[in-house]
Chain A
Amino acid sequence: MNESDVNDGKVNRSPGKTAKIAVKALVVFTLINLIFVFFYPLPALGKISAYNLVFPGRKRLPYGDNPSKSYNLSLFNLDAMFASHEISDSQKPDDEFRVILIGDSATWGFLLQPDETVSEYLNQQNIRMPDGKHLRAYNLGYPVMSLTKDLLFLQRALEYEPDLIVWPMTLESFPEDKQLYPPLLQKNPQAIEDLADLTGLEFETSSLETDFTDLLERTIPGSRRSLADLIRLQIYGVMWAATGIDQEIPEAFDPRLEDLPDDNRFHDQIPPELDEDRLAFEVINAGIKLAGDTPVMIVNEPVFISSGANSDIRYNFYYPRWAFDSFREKMNELNKRNNWIYRDYWDTIDPSEFTNSAIHMTPGGTEEFASLIARAILETISGGE
């Protein structure tokens, strides 16, 4: 650079030089994107997390409709979700009897504070197991009703060396057409395919997005939403650490329906019996098999039982009586045949302890449910079930 290149202290760049810089920038940008497309590091980037390092791990998997109020967000990167959970914090202590709960929004704790969930109430009981270990429960529930989603999370849960997996479930998670509908599963087709290979289950994967749907989506600009979600999850970790809040709980909400519709259909099934071929019962055995030596406790979780209009036809918004009764019959039958660790707690919680849906419970109802689970765990382990 010589005198003629400098103008008022700024470098005088001729149009040719500026154009060269622009072209170089474009080439570098294109190269970086091609490398990104080829290696597609997005899943691996999810493993990089400040949770359990800078700020404490979350008590439940990230999920949120209103991030600015809940300091939480829904994302589809499974590695990122689990890396942000407290279960990813260090090795399992030697004196810990690790219980992992999977399941739907009832397990996750919809409309409940982080310390009002089934897992936290179990922890508050300071249970000591027969061998002297402390029972420590972890919440890997997620607000989506799909047994296949539960199976995916069960597979993940095994990485954390559980001593027992508790799997609350309800009939609404069973219909075949609901198995792959959640966006979380739609966006993780490879995980579903791996699950299918592991378990031998057949999934209707043609409806899933492929990882290679669009080359442009695998570029940095195309992945910007996913990258932004990863960054936002980390940033919200600060708010989680500062407030302990991970869900926006409104002061008022619409309570579960008391007066029910005059409709005895369950999805498009009609009485007198459920068509088993259209329900995902096989996923339960697949999960138990996948867990290997780790016991899996299957729980028919509590549901709201209405006494309002048409309660002679339906138990609640989800279930006509015939369908749910048929479901319970089938579960009992499968239990006997397969010798599950099984508990049927469908009617154990008072109807007044349900909040905005037939499965979401108040803190009181949840605590009561947790006590039942605790008793069942001790019976199971003591009795060698």
Chain B
Amino acid sequence: MNLTNILVFTAFGLLFNLLIPSRWRKWTLLGSSVIAIYWMQPSSAIRNFDFWFPTASIALTVFVWISVQKTGEKRHLATLVAAGVLCGIVLLIGLTRYLDFLCCLTPTRPPDILKIMATISLVAAAWAVPYFFFPEKRFLSTFTTLIIIVIFIILKSDPLGRSASALLRIASGQLAELANPLDLTWLGYSFLAFRLLHVLRDHQSGKLPHYNLPEFVTYGIFFPTYTAGPIDRSQRFSADFREVTGPDNPANLRDNPSFRFNGLKRILIGIFKKFVIADSLALLSVTSQNVTQIQSTIWAWALLYAFTLRIYFDFSGYTDIALGLGTLMGFKLPENFDNPYRKVNLTSFWNSWHITLAQWFRAYFFNPLTRYLRSKPDGLPAWMIIFIGQFTTMVLIGLWHGITWNFFIWGAWHGTGLFINNRWTAWSKPKIEARTYSREAHLAFKFTGWLITFNFVALSWVWFSLPTIKSSLRFFGILFNVQ
């Protein structure tokens, strides 16, 4: 999201409850989210993919909705109307190709309208077949889960991304030799994937309530959270959605302007964090360019701390903006940060950094894995289960950012750190509780804990910010004055 996007979204949020009657809010939220994801989509080197990527997001979201439908819940007419509205909006966006004064919502002109219509027809057929002919089949949700994961891996892996880019370039009549994984600028896919995977898993566990199509698609592509989260749970979002689109919306301006006030305040804080602090600190970031240029240990630490602060202000700034926009419309989106750099141990840090991501992995990977390992009759010792759980969870979180050795090491770094923290706590807690310490001693413990945690996290960003192991090791060498 850039400042123009934020300004327009803010104006929309302010006017949403003022001007839109409750019976139209569902469609307004759906329509605005669809339009927004096309508007925010960056350009792609592959022709027309700044149009096709958001279209694919919508198509995939609808497909997931179909995958989780139960026979008794189907309301065909309402669904057809909703699907028709979606297709209609996409078609209208495509028509801007022919209207110079309206062109273009996307960075480049949308594809030819016949191509769009053909694609919509194919997608509609892809929706219709499982919807009508394969209701409640488990294989559908499993199949959809696999598709989402495969796309995710392709987008995050350079070699696979390059191959996919080459294929798409050939399909669009461009040179495959110029293929680059960076061509695949599918905005928001990482977060969309997690939202959809959560729905599919909850469906398979029998925990998913029914959602109608407009509600579900809005959940998937809700514009405030589309690009950078938070990763909301569908159940929580749905409760807000029904309240916001119902007659008793608490954010109705006439009755409760605190939503407007708090929303605006949160947006302004986010803008300051992201566009003033983070973007200023970006001038000092550790990059593959400057890591070979840095000559001074002290200044290397200064750059490392600058990056540490930058990544926090950047991410939390976007979160503040997202939460503020949601608040304007009456949504109480979940918090994603809770002063993470002030925490005194790594466990607390990970309970306060990208909270919704950590919760997602805890719910859908860590807990099921550790439950499974504990259920084995001749099972592993408890400490090993904890290690496997924490290590693999953090490695997966690392690989979620990109399938590279550096992100693997970053995840392993934190997984190992969490395990060490867990063992230290298990060993030291009884000893600490057995004695009485002075206030000064407590403060000293807390300070030491904070110092170690903060620097442990800061050093982990070396792996995160640099692209290769060699450049990372080089930077560590400069930090610790080792050749």
Residues of chain A whose beta carbon lies under 8 Å from any beta carbon of chain B: 7, 10-15, 18, 55, 67-69, 231-232, 235-236, 238-239, 241-245
The verdict on B355 contacting chain A, using a C-beta distance below 8 Å, is no
Cα-based distance from A231 to B293 in the complex (angstroms): 23
Assess whether B257 is in contact with A18, with CB atoms less than 8 Å apart: yes
How far apart are B21's CB and chain A's nearest CB, in angstroms? Answer: 20
A-B contact pairs, 29 of them (CB 8 A): A7-B256, A7-B258, A10-B262, A12-B257, A13-B261, A14-B257, A15-B254, A15-B257, A18-B261, A67-B283, A68-B283, A232-B280, A235-B280, A235-B283, A235-B284, A238-B299, A238-B303, A239-B303, A241-B296, A241-B299, A242-B293, A242-B294, A242-B296, A242-B299, A242-B302, A242-B303, A243-B290, A243-B294, A244-B293
Cα-based distance from A12 to B259 in the complex (angstroms): 9
Assess whether B253 is in contact with A15, with CB atoms less than 8 Å apart: yes
The verdict on B451 contacting chain A, using a C-beta distance below 8 Å, is no
Assess whether B302 is in contact with A238, with CB atoms less than 8 Å apart: yes
Assess whether A11 is in contact with B258, with CB atoms less than 8 Å apart: yes
List which B363-396 residues lie within 8 A (CB) of chain A.
none
Assess whether A243 is in contact with B258, with CB atoms less than 8 Å apart: no
CB neighbours (8 Å) of B258 from chain A are 7, 10-13
CB neighbours (8 Å) of B254 from chain A are 15
CB neighbours (8 Å) of B280 from chain A are 231-232, 235
Q: Which residue of B lies closest to A228 (CB)?
A: B280
Assess whether A18 is in contact with B260, with CB atoms less than 8 Å apart: yes
Q: Which residue of A lies closest to B286 (CB)?
A: A242
CB neighbours (8 Å) of A241 from chain B are 296, 299
Residues of chain B whose beta carbon lies under 8 Å from any beta carbon of chain A: 253-254, 256-258, 260-262, 280, 283-284, 289-290, 293-296, 299-300, 302-303, 306
Interchain residue pairs A-B with the least CB separation, the first 5: A242-B299, A243-B293, A235-B283, A10-B258, A242-B294
How far apart are B42's CB and chain A's nearest CB, in angstroms? Answer: 19
How far apart are B355's CB and chain A's nearest CB, in angstroms? Answer: 20
CB neighbours (8 Å) of A55 from chain B are 299
Q: Which residue of B lies closest to A10 (CB)?
A: B258
CB neighbours (8 Å) of B293 from chain A are 242-245
Q: Which residue of B lies closest to A240 (CB)?
A: B299
Cα-based distance from A242 to B261 in the complex (angstroms): 43
Given contacts A7-B258, A243-B295, 19 further A-B contacts (CB under 8 A): A10-B262, A12-B256, A12-B258, A13-B258, A15-B254, A15-B257, A68-B283, A69-B289, A231-B280, A232-B283, A235-B280, A238-B284, A238-B303, A242-B290, A242-B296, A242-B300, A242-B303, A244-B293, A245-B293
CB neighbours (8 Å) of A15 from chain B are 253-254, 257
Cα-based distance from A244 to B300 in the complex (angstroms): 12
CB neighbours (8 Å) of A232 from chain B are 280, 283
CB neighbours (8 Å) of B302 from chain A are 238, 242
Q: Which residue of A lies closest to B296 (CB)?
A: A242
CB neighbours (8 Å) of B290 from chain A are 239, 242-243
Cα-based distance from A339 to B322 in the complex (angstroms): 72
Q: Which residue of A lies closest to B295 (CB)?
A: A244
Cα-based distance from A231 to B283 in the complex (angstroms): 11
CB neighbours (8 Å) of B257 from chain A are 12-15, 18
The listed residue with most B CB atoms (<10 A of its CB), out of A7, A68, A69, A239, is: A239
CB neighbours (8 Å) of A13 from chain B are 257-258, 261
Cα-based distance from A241 to B306 in the complex (angstroms): 14
CB neighbours (8 Å) of A69 from chain B are 289
Cα-based distance from A13 to B257 in the complex (angstroms): 6
Assess whether A238 is in contact with B295, with CB atoms less than 8 Å apart: no
Q: Which residue of B lies closest to A16 (CB)?
A: B257
How far apart are A45's CB and chain B's nearest CB, in angstroms? Answer: 16
Assess whether A242 is in contact with B295, with CB atoms less than 8 Å apart: yes
CB neighbours (8 Å) of A12 from chain B are 256-258
Cα-based distance from A68 to B302 in the complex (angstroms): 18
Q: Which residue of A lies closest to B276 (CB)?
A: A231
Assess whether A239 is in contact with B283, with CB atoms less than 8 Å apart: yes
Cα-based distance from A149 to B257 in the complex (angstroms): 58
Assess whether B299 is in contact with A236, with CB atoms less than 8 Å apart: no
CB neighbours (8 Å) of A238 from chain B are 284, 299, 302-303, 306
Cα-based distance from A13 to B260 in the complex (angstroms): 9
